[in-house]
Structures are given as structure tokens and as C-alpha cells.
Amino acid sequence: MSRLNVNICGVDFKNPVITASGTYGFGREYNEFYPISKLGGISSKGMTIREKAGNPPPRIAETPSGILNSVGLQNPGVDHFIEKDLPWLREQDTVIIANIAGATEEDYAAIAEKVNASDVDMVELNISCPNVKAGGAAFGTSCAGAELVTALVRKHCPNKPLIVKLSPNVTSISEIAKAVEAAGADAVSLINTLLGMRIDIRTRRPILRNNKGGMSGAAVFPIAVRMVNEVYNAVKIPVIGLGGICTWQDAIEMTLAGASAIQVGTVMFTDPYAPLKIIDGMDNYLAENNIANISELVGQVQLW
């Protein structure tokens, strides 16, 4: 499937379909459905320097064509990942992206050094998790904060291509994108989840124990397409598009909006095989339209 080969920041992907952080663990569970070597890449569960317990349940609520979640970055800590999961992942022949998060500048610096010295292919800096009080979103929702933490991680992680994952819960996502580009990001990925809330009308309590959570799934797709296109037009670095992609048609649409690769997340809760169907569908589309490589379509939407 050479039509789907892409290179992002010097890293070769067999196809541009990556599983999104937080929806796919470290790949082991879905490897019980199909070999995850079929994927272009996998973005790990968001990791912190120390183990993190996460938020109390309920952590999920269904919404029209989507979900809200408030997991709160539950993870075993980056050392556990490097010792227990990374060696196994390395054998699976797919691009490994370490998604990292922190609450303080010190945390970000420390975890950046750990992943810099590890065997991962790329780093995805999460400055946009909406579910932890002192979380990355405190940095990711202002240009100054985004720039500061990007420069810090860049300094402590000089050897890995650095993707910065952007929050949509901002006034201008393209301004944030320009700030992280200036601070040394090699690529951006967007969008993280949109802040939302649902209330149980019988108990008059929010369904999520954390009151609010991040919204994802098909319902957010048009917002993601708009934001990817705005950011594509604002920066020179590659854009990785995500947010509500469910089908190969969505993936092509996101590519036209400006995405050099795409991430797939919530749809896998409906269909664990969705990433494989998207890969096959994209390849067939390129073949039928005599397009030699998917990169020819990146950003090719003709705006009115």
C-alpha cells in the first residue's frame, strides 16, 4: 500500500492512520482483535511522570453521536510504560508515539527527559487534557503557556520529533498553533476533546462524577475539520487531524482540510476494527482516483 506511505518529521508511517491517545491503551487489548502492526502508528495513553489514579467514576456519558469522558489521565507512570509496555510495542512494527502530560513545568521537563532517552519514535505533548484540575490545559489554553511548555519540552527532549496536541477550548486555535511552532514544535495534532457536561434530570446531578468532561465522537467532526483547516493555513509544520473521524470518507475529508496523518479514537468503541476499515477505504479511494500518494491530497480543499 505505498499509496498510503507518509513521512512526518522524518518518521516513516506505512499508512497515515494512528490510534488516538486514551482510546487504545498501549495497544495490547486491541491486539487481541487484530495485529496492531496494521496501524500506521499508535499514540499511547497519556502518561505522567508518576502513576496517576484518575478521577472517580462515572467517567463516561453518552451524547448524541458521541461521548463525554473524564478519565483524568489514569496511567501507570512513564517508567512503567518504558519498562513493561514499550519493549512489547517495539516488536509490533508500528510507529510508537509517547503521549505525555504534566501538572507543572518540573513534571513536563522530567517526563520529556525520560521519553527522550527511550526507544519511542515520536513524542506527543498533551497540553490540552480538560480532565485534570492542574492539568495540561492550564498551559494549552494561552499562547504564552503553550509556548513556554513547548520550549521546555523541546529543550529536555531534543532527540525526538515533537508533536504538540492542541485544545479546541480556546478563542483562536491557530494563534496557539503558531506559538508552539515558534517554540520548536515539529508538528501539531488537533483537536483534543471539547469541554462538555450532561445532567441526570432525575437526580439533578451531572452524570460524570467530575461534573464536566471532554466530548469526542462523530458529533465533533465538523469542528475538527474547521480547526485543522485554520491551523493548516496558519503554520508550516505538519498537522495531524483528529476529532470524530469514523469512516474512510471522514479521513479523506480531514486530509483535504490539511491533515498529513489522522488519528482515530472514539469510533473504536463502536467498532474496534474501524482503523483497518479506514485504511482499506482510503487505499481503494486513492487507487480508483489514480492518486499516487495520499500526500497529494493534504490541504487540497479549494475554499470558496
Partner 1 sequence: MKYTQELCPILKKVQLNKTTFSFKVASKEAVKSMKPGQFANILVEGKTLRRPISVCGFSREEGFIRFVFEVRGEGTAIMSEMAEGQNMDILAPLGNGFDIDPNEKAVFVGGGIGVPPLLGASAPYGANATALLGFRNKDAMILADEFAANGADVRIATDDGSYGLHGFVTQLLAQRLDEAPCDVIYACGPKPMLRLTAAEAEKRGIRCMVSLEERMGCGVGACLVCACKTRTPEGGEKYLHVCKNGPVFDSREVIWE
User: Where on the chain is the footprint of partner 1 (CB under 8 A)?
Assistant: 22-25, 29-30, 32-34, 45, 53-63, 65-67, 69, 71, 74, 207, 217-218, 266-273
CB of 46 to partner 1, least distance (A): 10
**Residue with smaller CB distance to partner 1, 272 or 281:** 272
- Do you find a cis peptide bond into 191, omega within 30 degrees of 0? yes
Q: CA 70 to CA 267: how far, in whole Å? A: 17
- Cβ closest to partner 1, residue 54 vs residue 299: 54
The nearer residue to partner 1, 235 or 268, going by C-beta atoms, is 268
**Cβ of residue 35: shortest distance to partner 1, in angstroms?**
9
Residue with cell 518504558: 82
CB of residue 304 vs partner 1: minimum separation in angstroms?
A: 32
**What Cα–Cα distance (Å) separates residue 102 from each residue in 46, 94, 245?**
9, 26, 27
Decide if 9 is catalytic.
no
List the strands of the sheet with 60-63, edge to edge: 60-63, 66-69, 212-216, 194-197
Does residue 58 have a cis peptide bond before it, meaning omega lies within 30 degrees of 0?
Answer: yes
Marked catalytic residue, from 9, 129, 143, 246: 129
Euclidean distance between CA atoms 173 and 273, whole angstroms = 31
- Assess contact for 18 and 43: CB atoms under 8 A: yes
Least gap, CB of 233 to partner 1 (angstroms): 31
Give the type of residue at 278: I
Q: Cβ of residue 1: shortest distance to partner 1, in angstroms? A: 22
Nearest CB to partner 1, comparing residues 34 and 88: 34
Phi-psi region of 186 (alpha: psi -120 to 50; beta: other; left: phi over 0): alpha
| Residue burial 170-205, b: 16+ Cβ < 10 Å; e: rest | beebbebbbbbbebbbbbbbbbbbbbbbbeeeeeee
Nearer Cβ to partner 1 (46/238):
46
Q: Which residues are catalytic?
A: 129
